[in-house]
Homo-oligomer: A and B are copies of this chain.
């Protein structure tokens, strides 16, 4: 039985008058459980509790915060099939996918726990006093990162586990020492409620201050707006549409005290097929990309929505292979009817444009279910592509557009015309790569991650990952939302000058009691 009440400071609040339900996107049928839409009063309670909890949570040792993160992972694993089944029913995603996503969710919680335990993440920098320096002595200065305060996380529709209530954003904010208030995505409230309960249990069992976590429901926009505007909110994280993300950025900029908003707002993730690989292995590329385009019904921020190549017989073979592969891929349930309507509308609008030709579409429509995304690939000339900015906008779903260029120079111009992207991918024979250095260089301006001979879907969760790119892919290209570096969104440096050693945080004390890597007088050391 799912409790659909809001969770304020790890406790269920009373049921509210305004309730809403979840539905199965594959059938349109209502699912069990009803969810209380929150309101300003609950927003205020959640933020005031978070602000109060912050005073202690920020001083709790990183090792104890790591225990909390591990306990969350443990509680989520205890939910097991109940959680996976509910997430399947609410999202239309497959059991295999959601089981994998559950593993990713618990894996990244544990990754942040290890990161905290290792301890060097606070970026301690120490410049020792030089009392004899002339003309003036140098004081002792020691700097490290401190958490900024309560963080509001908007759950993403397309990762009901890994980027929702206990996803990467929540894990990284909690790791950094910031309390978290999650605005549950209305498409999977039951999944959110289950995970919210798991976090609350973990907070209580590991002795965290209860204001460290709250979960609010709303099937409209009011609660989200109030969360961004609340005085105690210190940062906001959002994954979703450009329109939704920019609305939050605007609200945050209008505050008396503006706060950072980290939005990930979509990307078409260009893939460049170089001539030699198209000559050698066009069918192999087609099979690989048909799978990547349609993975999870194409509902990935790193979905390859744009394929660029110079016209050639190899490209024709690739296009023919793509047609064959796409036709054989069954339709798939999209996350919500709204997403399905949008996909259907935008893809048909694109196909209606003069000069844009259908390559092929899935021929296997599941007529028993609703909200079925029909995978579609199309092609267009580079000239038309560059003349119509609409064609560079993301169509969220199993859609990709092949852009045929006259020559390499035009291919380069297409790349240079693109807005910021999360990823760019190059498919090439290794021998041909050195001939395209100017083109490869052009990619480094527009993207956060550049992949060779792979697919952009499937984002590795690790220290070196960069998941974030120039605007409009994200609102702040200097940060990542995937991997351990995601914590740096919620931290700011504080320097202590000539401070008493015993009163410094242990990370900065002269004896380095935590045995962490520090930059001391411009050298990396554990001394």
Chain A positions within 8 Å of B, measured between CB atoms, are 59, 100, 118, 120, 125-127, 135-136, 138-139, 141-143, 146, 148-149, 249, 253, 257-258, 260, 419, 430, 433-434, 437, 440-441, 444-445, 447-454, 458, 460, 462-466, 468, 470-472, 475-478, 480, 485, 488, 491-500, 502-503, 517, 519, 522, 524
Contacts and interface: CB of A to CB of B under 8 A. Distances in A.
A453 B498 contact: yes
Given A139-B454, A477-B148, A524-B524, A495 B430 contact: no
Nearest to A250: B253
State the oligomeric state as a number of copies.
2
A495 B464 contact: yes
A166 to B, nearest CB: 21
B451 A498 contact: yes
A257 B454 contact: no
A451 B494 CA distance: 11
Contact of A466 (B493, B517, B522): B493
A59 B454 contact: no
A142 B495 contact: no
B120 A524 contact: yes
B478 A139 contact: no
A127 B463 contact: yes
A104 to B, nearest CB: 11
Given A141-B462, A143-B465, A466-B143, A448 B136 contact: no
A496 B462 contact: no
A464 B498 contact: no
A127 B466 CA distance: 12
A198 B177 CA distance: 47
20 contacts: A100-B135, A126-B464, A127-B463, A136-B458, A141-B465, A146-B444, A257-B419, A257-B472, A433-B500, A434-B502, A440-B503, A448-B494, A452-B496, A452-B500, A453-B498, A463-B519, A463-B522, A466-B495, A468-B493, A478-B491
A430 B471 CA distance: 50
Contacts of A500: 430, 433, 452
Given A492-B478, A494-B450, A460 B141 contact: yes
Contacts of A142: 464
Given A118-B522, A463-B519, A466-B495, 12 more contacts: A100-B135, A127-B460, A139-B451, A148-B477, A249-B258, A257-B419, A434-B503, A450-B494, A450-B496, A452-B497, A453-B498, A478-B492
A494 B519 contact: no
Contacts of A143: 464-466
Q: Which of A440, A452, A453, A517 has the most chain B CB atoms inside 10 A of its CB?
A: A452
A497 B449 contact: yes
A437 B505 CA distance: 12
Nearest to A137: B460
